[in-house]
Amino acid sequence: MEKQFKDILKNFLKENQLTQKQFADKIGVKQSQVSEWLKGKAKPGYDILRQTAVAFDLSADYLLGIRDDY
């Protein structure tokens, strides 16, 4: 079963003890946008995924649900 971005993000925030606001500030988006991602109502585009990978030193494969480790 393919992982959804909302679940990947939820797990990442929990494992790293980050609030939605802290995560949003680090990648340069509004907290409300992160909330929409966590609800599954929206998904980030390429530029935001790239910013996230760079800001947190993550693999894009992790963010896309291809790999389980970051």
Give the model confidence (pLDDT) of 33-69 as tens digits. 999 999 999 999 999 999 999 999 999 999 999 988 8
Q: What is the pLDDT of residues 13-37, one digit of tens each?
A: 999 999 999 999 999 999 999 999 9
Would you say residue 53 lies in a domain? yes
Would you say residue 38 lies in a domain? yes
- Domain with 29, as residue range(s), is 5-63
Would you say residue 70 lies in a domain? no
Would you say residue 11 lies in a domain? yes
Model-level pTM? 0.90
Query: Number of structural domains, the chain?
Result: 1
- Report residue 1 as tokens: 């079963």
Q: Is the torsion defined by CA of 57, 22, 16, 35 positive or negative?
A: negative
Would you say residue 43 lies in a domain? yes
Question: Buried (b) or exposed (e) across 57-67, using 16+ Cβ within 10 A?
Answer: ebeeebbeeee
Would you say residue 69 lies in a domain? no
Judge whether residue 11 has pLDDT over 70: yes
